[in-house]
Amino acid sequence: RPRVLSGIQPTSGSFHLGNYLGAVRQWVALQETHDAFYMVVDLHAITIPQDPAELRANTRLAAAQLLAAGLAPERCTLFVQSHVPEHAQLGWVMNCLTGFGEASRMTQFKDKSARQGADRATVGLFTYPVLQVADILLYQADQVPVGEDQRQHIELTRDLAERFNTRFGPTFTLPAPYILKETGKIYDLQDPQIKMSKSASTPKGLVNLLDEPKVTAKKVRSAVTDTDTVIRFDPVEKPGVSNLLTIQSTLTGTSVAELEQRYEGKGYGALKSDLAEAMVDFVTPFRSRTQELLDDPETLDSLLAKGAEKARAVAAETLAETYDRVGFLPAK
């Protein structure tokens, strides 16, 4: 079985529709065919200031949402990043292999540090793509299911893996991105030029899966479209409508072509109201499953402990080999 690895940040509580359609939905599918490792990346979360109590609660909440979305502990390894110290350890080795200019070219860092303000952005934020390299290489992942915004980080992972292998001998698997063309980038409902994002979206444009279904329906109905009236998939001319079509198509399993036909001669209102309904049908059971899982924190925590144990077995082996190749003296 080929191996997949991916992670999601426990920031801001609820997952949003972009997280689900761009990443988590694929994680659920891939656990059936792949040796799958998925984690809640709390080390990444602290690259931006977090309240400790909130971070702890959001880490459980993220795990609960992943299970509610369909991850099954017997079919994948689900864990919390900080429970596996090897991430930080391999991260350091990777930092020492990365060029300063190379790290400076990461567009996610540039966007996020610009939002933080140059003086407030941390060194952790600067090197988080390199930690992500370590996340992936530790598990010798063949594929990494993520959204389009992560493509550059997978490229960096391949570059560093190759650099290490050339310098120290074959150690790491070069991973390939697993990014779906259709849903790799879901856009903000109010500003369909930018990606829906936990940190960058406008509140009205961000569809949180744990919002009250009524709120979600309202956000869908007030999505920004255009002054035309034709419902047609055309991301350049009609980004708002195309985004709604993508979401509707994926949630209901209907092709975009079929939707274009269905809405021929109908207005945007019809599409929005059908999508609002599809969204409510999706989030209603998702919310209650998440709540049920949260109501039993002991079970949740023990499941994460088991996941960490499984993950550590793999991570420790890769780290030991890496340390040996680098020339660290074994601690006997």
112 is catalytic: yes
The set of residues, in sequence order, having a beta carbon less than 8 Å from that of 28 and lying 6+ positions away, is 69, 70, 71
CA distances to 58, 156, 310 from 45, rounded to whole Å, are 10, 20, 23
Residue 122 Rama label (left phi>0; alpha psi -120 to 50; beta)? beta
DSSP assignment of 216-244: HHHHHHT----S-------TTT-HHHHHH
- Would you say 19 is a known binding-site residue? yes
Catalytic annotation present for 214: no
Distance between CA 243 and CA 182 in Å, rounded?
10
- Report which residue's Cβ sits closest to ligand ATP: 22
First to last CA, the chain: 35
Which member of 110, 185, 195, 214 is catalytic? 195
Closer Cβ to ligand ATP, 148 or 321, answer by number: 148
Cβ-contact 72, 111 below 8 angstroms: no
| Distance from C-alpha of 145 to C-alpha of 270, rounded to nearest angstrom | 33
For residue 149, say whether it is annotated as part of any ligand binding site.
Answer: yes
On whether 265 is known to bind a ligand per the annotation, the reply is no
**Segment contacting ligand ATP by CB under 6 A, of 53-61, 196-204, 240-248, 281-289:** 196-204
- Answer for the pair 103, 129: CB distance below 8 angstroms, yes or no: yes
10 is in an annotated binding site: yes
Q: How many residues bind ligand ATP, per CB under 6 A?
A: 20
| C-beta separation of 307 from 77 below 8 A | yes
Q: Which lies closer to ligand ATP via its Cβ, residue 199 or residue 299? A: 199
Rounded least distance, CB 19 to ligand ATP, Å: 4
Interface segment toward ligand ATP; rule CB under 6 A; list 76-84, 120-128, 178-186, 300-308 = 178-186
Of these residues, 198, 204, 306, 310, which one is catalytic? Answer: 198
Find the radius of gyration of the CA atoms of the chain: 21
Contact stretch for ligand ATP (CB under 6 A) within 14-22, 152-160, 233-241, 271-279:
14-22
Locus of tokens 């529709």: 17
| Dist CA 17 CA 272 (whole Å) | 15
Look up residue 105 and give its two tokens.
Answer: 């070219």
Task: Pick out residues in 62-121 that bind ligand ATP (CB under 6 A).
Answer: none
Q: Is 204 a catalytic residue?
A: no
Q: Which is nearer to ligand ATP, 140 or 197 (CB)?
A: 197
* Closer by beta carbon to ligand ATP, 199 or else 222: 199
The answer to the question of residue 9 lying near ligand ATP (CB under 6 A) is yes
Is residue 18 a contact point for ligand ATP (CB under 6 A)? yes
Strand partners, 103: none
**Is there a binding annotation on residue 196?**
yes
Which residues here bind ligand ATP, judged by CB under 6 A?
8-9, 11, 18-19, 22-23, 146-147, 149-150, 184-186, 195-200
Residues at the binding site for ATP are 9-11, 18-19, 147-149, 186, 195-199
